[in-house]
Amino acid sequence: MEMSEKWMRHYSSNHQILLVGEGDFSFSLCLASAFGSATNITATSLDSEDELCEKFKYAMHNVRRLERYGCDIQHEVDVHTMSFDNSLSLRRYDRIVFNRINRSRVFIYS
């Protein structure tokens, strides 16, 4: 059964969305929860899985929940070099988001 389109601010459940620079993956999980699915989301962190475990209490808990929503999770993705990564660069995204909340800015590329 096809799910109806859901919007959350700039994002639609029909968009292909790439999230770059996730910390504890709470932003990704928030979107996935709103959509009821994350099969349209690729969520990435600069940190490795080990680094996430050290830095963020709930990161892996959030990652596991995202996986259950069907999210594509990738670690050690640097925004400066990701265009050389075939698994990302060969796909087409409607939204590429790099949230730098500590600078009070949200960059949205579409």
Ligand X SMILES: C[S@@+](CC[C@H](N)C(=O)[O-])C[C@H]1O[C@@H](n2cnc3c(N)ncnc32)[C@H](O)[C@@H]1O
Per DSSP, 83 falls in state: G
Nearer Cβ to ligand X, position 16 or 82? Answer: 82
**Which of residues 23, 75, 85, 93 is near ligand X by CB under 6 A?**
23
Q: What are phi and psi of 71, to 5 degrees?
A: -75, 145
Q: Does 33 bind ligand X (CB under 6 A)?
A: no
Provide, rounded to whole angstroms, the least separation between the CB of residue 4 and ligand X: 26
Closest CA to 1 of 34, 43, 33, 37: 37
- Closest to ligand X by CB, 3 vs 64, is 64
> Tokens representing 80?
């400066």
User: Can residue 101 be called a binding residue for ligand X (CB under 6 A)?
Assistant: yes
Least distance (Å) between residue 2 CB and ligand X: 29
Determine the interface stretch with ligand X among 4-12, 35-43, 62-70, 78-86 (rule: CB under 6 A).
Answer: 78-86
18 binds ligand X (CB under 6 A): no
Q: Is 86 in contact with 97 (CB distance < 8 Å)?
A: no
Question: Cβ atoms within 10 A of the Cβ of 38, count?
Answer: 25
Alpha carbons 72 and 69: distance in angstroms, whole number: 9
Residues near ligand X, by CB under 6 A: 20-24, 26-27, 46-47, 78-80, 99-102
